[in-house]
Amino acid sequence: MELIRDLLGVFGFIGGIYDDIKDFFLPKRAFAWQTLIYLSIFSWLMSSLSTGFVKSAIALCGWVLLIAGTAWYTTENPVVIPGTNMPIGALVTGFLVSAFAFRESGQEITTRTIVFWPTISALITAIPEFFEGTGTEFSTQVPKIEERQKIIILVAVSMVISCWLQFGFVVNKWLDEFPSLQTDNIKPTFVLRTEPQLSKTPKNGSLILSKLEPIVKEQIANRPWSEVEQWLKSANARVDSLGREAIETSLREFDEKSLWRTEARISSLDQKNPDIYKLDLLSVWSGPTSTGREYYLRKTCRVEPINVSSRPDQVLRVAEIACGRTSNRIIGSPPAL
């Protein structure tokens, strides 16, 4: 008997779950929130089989039905977010309204969808406070002072959240367009340190010098020493011109390309042998920084003449160049010419 009783209990439990599922999905009357949801699904199905204006019109009906059905269901038994007077259902409805209002072709969820979501949800929460009554019989009213305060605080806080979300998207866009800003070690709190430890090397600054190095070597290596000395005398102007081409080629997809420039500095490497030169190739960042000062990266090259014998009675001097690694960032403007 106990076994039979246990089996009946199990079947009763399963039957209860089945009844709950049936009540959830099958409306008890024709005009119910389930009906609106099913009509929205049917509208989207018909929209996928249509084209042109008819497709857009049916899709619009599907969105309206989905929003209305969701709002209806979430307001029947509202669950309030702890510490606020905003129902969770308002967040769901607000997201659907925002997705519908700010959707773009081929993209249902955009940045504006996320940004306006909190504010729209707050407005949806506030609207019922200005009406009283149920069904088709209702009238407008002015909320009580206590309710007005709650509404104002809720809408204001939601607008602040929207502003922070928009700010986050803007900063992310800046970092996509100006990736060198990511190496400036600016903390998310936006507190600027007086002595920042800038240890990271900007990838684009290093890339510019790596593209510039073979171009400079091509113009110097194995060239007659007399020509190379003339080249070195105007090295800064030549490197500036060559650098603009390298920047345009290597940073084509970045908006920050206009904030980089290249320079060169020439000095004697060996006081005892004035024919040995030190050529510094510099990539200079003139964009925004946490210190308010520009910085630069340096690649040092050694340029010197070597003797090449084409005939036993003739010695030709040509240039040889060797470059080292790119330095870490150096805060401040490059040395004066």
Calculate what percentage of the chain has a pLDDT beyond 90.
26
Burial 84-103 (b: 16+ CB within 10 A, else e): ebbbebbbbbbbbbbbbebb
24 belongs to a structural domain: yes
Kindly report which listed range (44-48, 168-172, 181-185, 323-327) carries the lowest average pLDDT score: 181-185
Kindly report which listed range (285-289, 293-297, 310-314) carries the lowest average pLDDT score: 310-314
The first and second tokens of residue 65, run together, are 């039905």
| Structure-model confidence comparison of residues 221 and 18, the more confident one | 221
Same-domain pairing of 241 and 158: no
> What CA–CA distances, in Å, run from 337 to 118, 182, 234, 280, 302?
56, 30, 11, 12, 18
* Closest C-alpha to 95, from 67, 65, 68, 74: 67
SS3 275: coil
193 belongs to a structural domain: no
Q: Domain span at residue 264?
A: 203-331
Same-domain pairing of 33 and 171: yes
SS3 for 217-233 is: HHHHCCCEHHHHHHHHH
185 belongs to a structural domain: no
Same-domain pairing of 248 and 314: yes
User: How far is 178 from 200, CA to CA, in rounded Å?
Assistant: 15
How confident is the model at residue 65, as a pLDDT?
Answer: 86
Same-domain pairing of 19 and 138: yes
What is the pLDDT of the chain when averaged over all its residues?
Answer: 80
Name 326's bridge partners: 299
Confidence class for position 268, pLDDT limits 50, 70, 90? confident
190 belongs to a structural domain: no
Confidence class for position 198, pLDDT limits 50, 70, 90? very low
Query: Where do runs of H (alpha helix) occur along 77-144?
Result: 88-101, 111-126
Q: To 5 degrees, how large is the angle CA 208–CA 228–CA 268?
A: 80
Name 147's bridge partners: none
What DSSP string runs through 150-205? HHHHHHHHHHHHHHHHHHHHHHHHHHHH-GGGGGG---TT-PPPSS----PPPHHH
Same-domain pairing of 150 and 28: yes
How confident is the model at residue 312, as a pLDDT?
Answer: 60
Helix (H) or strand (E) holding 337: none
Same-domain pairing of 20 and 141: yes
| Structure-model confidence comparison of residues 134 and 254, the more confident one | 254
Same-domain pairing of 167 and 211: no
Q: Could you say which of 179, 195, 225 is where a domain stops?
A: 179
pLDDT of 99-118, one tens digit each?
888 876 666 788 889 999 99
Q: Could you say which of 163, 179, 195 is where a domain stops?
A: 179
192 belongs to a structural domain: no
The first and second tokens of residue 249, run together, are 């080629």
Same-domain pairing of 14 and 118: yes
**Domains of the chain: total:** 2
User: How far is 181 from 195, CA to CA, in rounded Å?
Assistant: 17
> What CA–CA distances, in Å, run from 235 to 162, 193, 211, 247, 262?
52, 37, 17, 17, 11
Same-domain pairing of 164 and 207: no
pLDDT of 58-111, one tens digit each?
888 888 888 888 877 777 667 777 777 677 888 888 888 888 888 766 667 888
The arithmetic mean of pLDDT across residues 36-49, rounded, is: 84
Residue pair 209/283 in contact by the 8 Å Cβ criterion: yes
Q: Report whether pLDDT(50) > 60.
A: yes
* Closest C-alpha to 172, from 111, 119, 116: 111
pLDDT of 199-243, one tens digit each?
467 888 999 999 999 999 999 998 999 899 999 999 999 999 999
User: How far is 85 from 91, CA to CA, in rounded Å?
Assistant: 12
184 belongs to a structural domain: no
How confident is the model at residue 326, as a pLDDT?
Answer: 92
How confident is the model at residue 275, as a pLDDT?
Answer: 81
Helix (H) or strand (E) holding 83: none
Same-domain pairing of 121 and 158: yes
Q: Using alpha carbons only, how large is the chain's radius of gyration in Å?
A: 35
Residue pair 239/212 in contact by the 8 Å Cβ criterion: yes
Q: Could you say which of 179, 194, 224 is where a domain stops?
A: 179
38 belongs to a structural domain: yes
pTM of the complete model beyond 0.85: no
Confidence class for position 191, pLDDT limits 50, 70, 90? very low
Same-domain pairing of 86 and 208: no
Same-domain pairing of 162 and 279: no
Confidence class for position 139, pLDDT limits 50, 70, 90? confident
248 belongs to a structural domain: yes
